[in-house]
Amino acid sequence: MATINPNFAKLPGNYLFADIARQVEEYAAAHPGDELIRLGIGDVTRPIAPAVTAAMHAAVDEMAQAASFHGYGPYEGYEFLRRAIQRYDYAARGVEIGLDEIFVSDGAKSDTANLGELFGSDNVVAVCDPVYPVYVDSNALAGRLGEYAGGTWERLVYVPCTADNGFVAEPPREHADMVYLCFPNNPTGVAATREQLAGWVAYARAHDAVIVYDSAYEAYISSGAPHSIFEIDGAAECAIECRSFSKTAGFTGTRLGYTVIPKALKRGGTSLNELWRRRAATKSNGVAYVVQRGGAAVYTPEGCEQTQATIAYYMNNARVIREGLQAAGLAVYGGVDAPYLWVAVPGAAPSWEFFRTLLHEAKVVTTPGVGFGPGGEGYIRLTAFGTAEATAEAVERIRAIL
Ligand code: PLP
């Protein structure tokens, strides 16, 4: 008899966003006349920039001619895209990354989840709490986290990010082998400073740990915080970085991201760069040529200007939410370096309860903070990815019920 991976049975309930979608659908079915405003799931709403879609159209036309047709591409991504990433995302910030240290993928969700395959099943994992749930669930499935009881995983090191530490925790006292960091963070919307990241790099080096650094929201940083972990000295020997075109350039449906694994990163004498290359060759046939052409166009002067305008649009929404809810007396964090607002639930009510109040009374969909880990209890997350009109309306509706 085929047995199944027993770790699936340990996962608590549904994936967070599936749970929210079910509750919202039930509400919408019971109240068909209500117009809901969705500031819950982190999906973008603005279209892909014209310079980018033009490049994709041209790439489709290439596919229609025998002379310019592209079949299977390189596992690690086309060189034209890796060169653009190397030049504009790293060299422009004074960070030297080799072309063969960049691996193009279908996005940061798969990369951050799949990177666990490089590591032994007995590694100790540390995550910031609250955090994007994929790091935890993927490690639970790999059997690294033990049992789930009372809302926490037995073998997971939770590093609390609280209002007291400005939602950027210091490294823990405990030992960890794999550390997942996400800055600017989803859900709190807060970025880490150079000094804070240097503290994590020092921790990783002292513990021989590897940091998986998710910088999916680096394009939103406005405070001068580092965009890459590799801006920190010594990170090349202890960190991997994952990035995404999803929120930077509207590729949530188109799918494109990349991971940087420095050649200097070795554990037990083995190069993680070589392991990831081997894995890519075994498990992937790369990302669509048309999509990679679109990705490269994000770095052209027009593509860059147009995508920056979209980011500015979302960050204006973030400002509207932050200022509006603060004026209504709520404690609101984030929204400066990321399109997320982390809002303390008034009266210390549970976050699922406030989620339901906002859904039923304000007709606004949010995300309950506890879905991002035990440290998210007492908060809800709002996203700035809606239209400007819907965002302003949502803020008015929330203010009205407070
Ligand atoms: N990482 C973080 C922190 C995210 O919030 C998200 C999406 O919400 C992702 C990764 C997923 O990125 P992608 O669309 O590239 O898979």
pLDDT digits (tens, 9 = 90+) for 208-218: 999 999 999 99
Q: Which atom of ligand 1 is nearest to the CA of 244?
A: 15
The pLDDT confidence band at residue 162, using thresholds 50, 70 and 90, is very high
Residue to probe by mutation, ligand 1, list 247, 248, 340, most atoms within 8 Å of CB: 247
The rounded Å distance from CA 244 to ligand 1 centre is: 7
Cβ–ligand 1 distance for 107 under 6 Å, the answer yes
Looking at residue 24, what is its pLDDT? Answer: 94
CB 191 within 8 A of CB 337: yes
DSSP string, 369-380: GGGG-GGGTTEE
Check residue 75 and report its DSSP letter.
Answer: T
Nearest atom (ligand 1) to Cα of 132: 3
> Which CA distances in Å does 238 have to 123, 214, 268, 311?
15, 14, 13, 31
User: pTM of this prediction?
Assistant: 0.97
User: Atom 2 of ligand 1 has which residue's CA nearest to it?
Assistant: 216
For the segment 33-50, what is each residue's pLDDT rounded down to a tens digit?
A: 999 999 987 899 999 999
Kindly report the backbone phi and psi dihedral angles of residue 157, in degrees, each rounded to the nearest multiple of 5, phi listed first: -90, 115
pLDDT in tens, 88-144: 999 999 999 999 999 999 999 999 999 999 999 999 999 999 999 999 999 999 999
Q: Look at residue 221 in the predicted model and tell me its pLDDT.
A: 98
pLDDT score recorded for residue 377: 95
Residue 398: strand, helix, or coil: helix
CB 28 within 8 A of CB 22: no
Q: From ligand 1's centre to the CA of 305, what distance in Å?
A: 23
Domains in the chain with CATH codes: 13-42+302-401 (3.90.1150.10), 53-299 (3.40.640.10)
Length of the chain: 402
Ligand 1 atom closest to Cα of residue 107: 15
